[in-house]
Structure 1
Amino acid sequence: MTDPRTDRGGARPAVPTPTPALRDVVWACLRPALRLRLALFRRAVRSGTFPPAATAPPSLLDDVTADRVAYVGNAAAARFGVLEEELTTLSRVAAAVGSARGRPFVWVEGPAQVLTAREAADEPASAVPDVDAVVVALGFSDVLLMTSAAAWRRDLDRLLDAARHPGSVLSPVLVAGIPPIDRLRLTSRGARGRVHGQIARLNAESERLVRERGDCVFVPFPEPEPAVGSARLNGQLWSWRRVHELWAASLWPELVRVLDESS
Structure 2
Amino acid sequence: MGAVAVRATRPAAAALAPVLVVQGAGVRRRTPVLPEAAGPRSGAVPGDGPPLTVAVVGESPAAGVGVTTQDDALAARFAAALAGRCGRAVHWRLSARTGTTAQRATDRLVPGLAGPPADVVLVQLGVNDTLRLRARAAWRRDVTALLDALAPLVAPDGVVVLAGLPDLAAFPTLPQPLRGVLGRHARVLDRELDALAAARPGVRHAPTPPLSGREHFAGDGFHPNAAAVREWAADLAGVGLSGRPAR
Query: What are structure 2's unaligned runs of at least 5 residues?
Result: 1-7
Q: What is the aligned-residue identity percentage? A: 23
What CA RMSD, in Å, does the superposition of the two structures yield over aligned residues? 4.1
Residue 73 of structure 1: which of 58, 62, 66 is its match?
58
Matches within 5 A, 1:128-207: 128=113, 129=115, 130-166=117-153, 171-207=158-194
* Rounded Cα–Cα distance in structure 1 between residues aligned with 2:109 and 2:76: 27
Q: CA deviation at 1:180?
A: 2.0
Contact kept, 8 Å, 1:229 with 1:237, in 2: the verdict is no
Query: What are structure 1's unaligned runs of at least 5 residues?
Result: 1-19
**How far does the alpha carbon of each residue in 1:14-41 deviate from its partner, in whole angstroms, 9 at most, with x for none?**
xxxxxx94539949x99xx79x96xx59
Q: CA deviation at 1:189?
A: 4.0
Q: Which moved more, 1:154-163 or 1:199-208?
A: 154-163
* Rounded Cα–Cα distance in structure 2 between residues aligned with 1:220 and 1:23: 27
Q: CA deviation at 1:156?
A: 0.6
Residue 257 of structure 1: which of 235, 239, 242 is its match?
242
- What residue number does 1:117 align with? 102
Q: CA deviation at 1:86?
A: 4.8
Determine helix, strand or coil for the equivalent of 2:92.
Answer: strand
Is the alpha carbon distance of 1:92 and 1:110 closer, same or farther for their aligned partners in structure 2, counting shifts above 3 Å? closer
Q: CA deviation at 1:209?
A: 1.8
Alignment pair present for 1:23 and 2:23: no
Runs of at least 4 residues off by over 6 Å: none
Compare relative contact order (CA 8 Å, sep 6+) and give the higher one, 1 or 2: 2
Contact kept, 8 Å, 1:137 with 1:176, in 2: the verdict is yes
* Rounded Cα–Cα distance in structure 1 between residues aligned with 2:84 and 2:36: 24
Contact kept, 8 Å, 1:68 with 1:106, in 2: the verdict is yes
**How far does the alpha carbon of each residue in 1:62-121 deviate from its partner, in whole angstroms, 9 at most, with x for none?**
xx9322211121265452223465543333222221122222223211143432111123
TM-score, with structure 1 as normaliser: 0.68
Contact kept, 8 Å, 1:79 with 1:89, in 2: the verdict is yes
* Rounded Cα–Cα distance in structure 2 between residues aligned with 1:76 and 1:25: 25
- What residue number does 2:231 align with? 246
Q: CA deviation at 1:165?
A: 1.9
Matches within 5 A, 1:3-82: 21=9, 23=11, 26=14, 47-49=33-35, 51-56=37-42, 65-74=50-59, 77=62, 79-82=64-67
Residue 104 of structure 1: which of 68, 78, 89 is its match?
89
Contact kept, 8 Å, 2:161 with 2:240, in 1: the verdict is yes
Aligned length: 228
* Larger CA Rg, structure 1 vs 2: 1
User: Which amino acid in 1 is paired with 2:194?
Assistant: E
Q: CA deviation at 1:158?
A: 1.2
